[in-house]
Amino acid sequence: MQKKNTGLLIWGGVGTGKSFFAGCIANALMEREVPVCMTNFARILNELNNSFSGRNEVVERLCRYPLLIIDDFGMERDTNYALEQVYNIIDSRYRSKRPLIITTNLTLDEIRHPQDVAHARIYDRVLEMCVPVSCFGTSIRKDTAQEKLNNLKSLIG
What's the Cα-to-Cα distance from 128 to each of 28, 41, 60, rounded to whole Å? Answer: 25, 20, 21
How far is the first Cα of the chain from the last one, in angstroms, to the nearest whole number? 53
Q: Is the pLDDT confidence value at 130 over 70?
A: yes
Q: pLDDT above 90 covers what percent of the chain? A: 59
Q: What is the pLDDT of residues 53-98, one digit of tens each?
A: 677 888 888 999 999 999 999 887 778 888 998 999 999 999 999 9
Question: Of residues 19 and 150, which shows the higher confidence score?
Answer: 19
Output b/e per residue, 24-46; b: 16+ Cβ within 10 A: ebbeebeeeeeebbbbbbeebbe
Q: Kindly report the average pLDDT of the chain as a whole number.
A: 90
pLDDT computed for residue 69 by the predictor? 97
- SS3 for 132? strand
- For the chain, which domains are there? 7-156 (3.40.50.300)
